[in-house]
Amino acid sequence: MNHLAHCFLSFGDEDLLLGNFIGDFVKGHDWENYPKPVQRGILLHRAIDSFTDNHPLADISVARIRPYAGRYSRPFVDILYDHLLAIYWDKYATEPFQSFAIKTYAQLENRAAEMPLILQERLPKMIAGQFLHGYTQREGLEWVLHRFSQRITGQFDPQAIADAFFQAIDGFSEDFNGFFPDLVSHAQLTLQQNR
């Protein structure tokens, strides 16, 4: 899962949000250098990623996009799934998307000084661009796909990936809506076990 899902699966808790947001940038045992509440968020991030990578419905989505994304199909699916979460927001969230996003931006700004330096540098631009809102529209999704394809090795056509996704969006939606409730339950269980 990508930014939107990790923020959503922090369940409104600012410490969990910080850990979940920085999770990809905290390597090995470096998570132990953070306060306990933030550690829980980092470990939650890892649990979310591991569960997603091993879920059979996510595997179906990976297979759908593999002809266009090759060995990077999983991270591309993570991005596509954030768009689907935005589309089906009201199915999974009780809080309106707009208020969730504004609150999340504020919480991340509050904790920017505790983030790895690369995120401290990126965060102002991300918030100025309302990065969570980007997942709500096709244009925003295509921008994220394009940016991601520039950061990885290999030749990818982000427009072809987007076109393939939208042509098969009903199938991807079926995969996602079967998978996501399992992920929410797994995230909640992970937090109960890591109190």
The Cα 48–Cα 105 span in angstroms is 21
The Cα 124–Cα 192 span in angstroms is 33
Q: What's the first-to-final CA gap in the chain, in angstroms?
A: 23
- pLDDT at residue number 73: 93
**One-character DSSP codes across 23-81:** GGG--TTGGGGS-HHHHHHHHHHHHHHHHHHT-HHHHHHHHHHHHHHGGGHHHHHHHHH
Of residues 69, 111, 92, the one with CA closest to residue 4: 92
- pLDDT at residue number 154: 72
Distance, CA of 21 to chain centre: 9
- pLDDT at residue number 141: 93
- pLDDT at residue number 23: 92
Of residues 129, 142, 141, the one with CA closest to residue 101: 129
The tens-digit pLDDT sequence of the chain (195 residues) is: 889 999 999 999 999 999 999 998 988 888 888 999 999 999 999 999 999 999 999 999 999 999 999 989 999 999 999 999 999 999 999 999 999 999 999 999 999 999 999 999 999 999 999 999 999 999 999 999 998 888 887 778 889 999 999 999 999 999 999 999 999 999 999 999 888
The Cα 177–Cα 85 span in angstroms is 9
- pLDDT at residue number 147: 87
Q: Find the helix packing angle between 73-87 and 138-151, rounded to 10°.
A: 160
